[in-house]
């Protein structure tokens, strides 16, 4: 790895979160979790701070700590179905289409807490292509902030964790990337308070180009 600055990173592979990073699905997420919050008499503002980046059952475990995981998993299936049926307001994060186009032929993977139907539906609703390598909810046994998903993504691409850069928007996702031993590009306003390696407002501020030796140079701003 070459020397780096705050505006330049060098990597060999990129691991991309979906919601909040490539796709703005906040409208759907907030609708579904607001209904859930009302059902249990919970403060929605507190709930929404927990749910970003995590699988639904993991969020429920934090928010309803006395409830069984069996109940959480059952209700998570209902939540996934509701989110998959609701694509109103799902749009790409600015710059996402050009960013993904620039990665064609370069090592990258989607690492999302969504399952296959939800990730496929949201990427399609946003008009974005699905990366060939995908790590979804079905692929892992633990939700972000556990690093399992990012470690699996690196392994599937064939790179060491230290050679990968994560793109994330949430506290849980940034923590997962760090726990995997990776540097993290924080995308959007949520990312700032969790101290990513680099933060950008959106993907229009990111450029990726291959350089000698199979490396990727990321420049920001």
Residues with catalytic roles = 17, 19
Sheet with 216-220: list strands edge to edge.
8-11, 216-220, 206-210
- CA–CA gap between residue 157 and residue 141 (Å, rounded): 19
Closest CA to 22 of 116, 94, 113, 105: 94
Classify residue 85 by its DSSP letter: T
Considering Cα of 161, then 145, then 194, then 132, what sign does the dihedral take?
A: positive
**How far, in whole angstroms, is CA 166 from its chain's centroid?**
9
- CA–CA gap between residue 142 and residue 58 (Å, rounded): 8
């Amino acid at each position: 790895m070459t020397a780096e600055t705050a505006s330049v990173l060098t990597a060999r592979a990129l691991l991309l979160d979906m919601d909040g990073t490539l796709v703005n699905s906040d409208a759907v997420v907030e609708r579904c979790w607001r209904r859930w919050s009302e059902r249990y008499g919970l403060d929605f503002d507190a709930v929404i701070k927990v749910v970003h980046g995590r699988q639904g059952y993991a969020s429920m475990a934090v928010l309803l700590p006395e409830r069984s995981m069996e109940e959480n998993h059952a209700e998570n299936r209902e939540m996934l179905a509701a989110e998959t049926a609701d694509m109103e307001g799902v749009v790409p994060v600015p710059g996402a289409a050009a960013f993904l186009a620039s990665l064609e032929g370069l090592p990258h993977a989607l690492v999302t807490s969504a399952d296959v139907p939800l990730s496929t539906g949201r990427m399609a609703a946003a008009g974005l292509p699905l990366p060939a390598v995908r790590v979804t909810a079905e692929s892992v046994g633990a939700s972000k902030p556990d690093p399992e998903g990012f470690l699996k993504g690196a392994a599937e691409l064939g790179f060491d964790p230290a050679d990968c850069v994560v793109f994330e928007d949430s506290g849980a996702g940034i923590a997962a990337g760090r726990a995997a031993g990776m540097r993290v590009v924080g995308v959007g306003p949520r990312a700032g308070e969790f101290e990513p390696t680099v933060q950008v407002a959106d993907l229009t501020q990111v450029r990726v180009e291959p350089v000698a030796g199979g490396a990727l140079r990321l420049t920001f701003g």
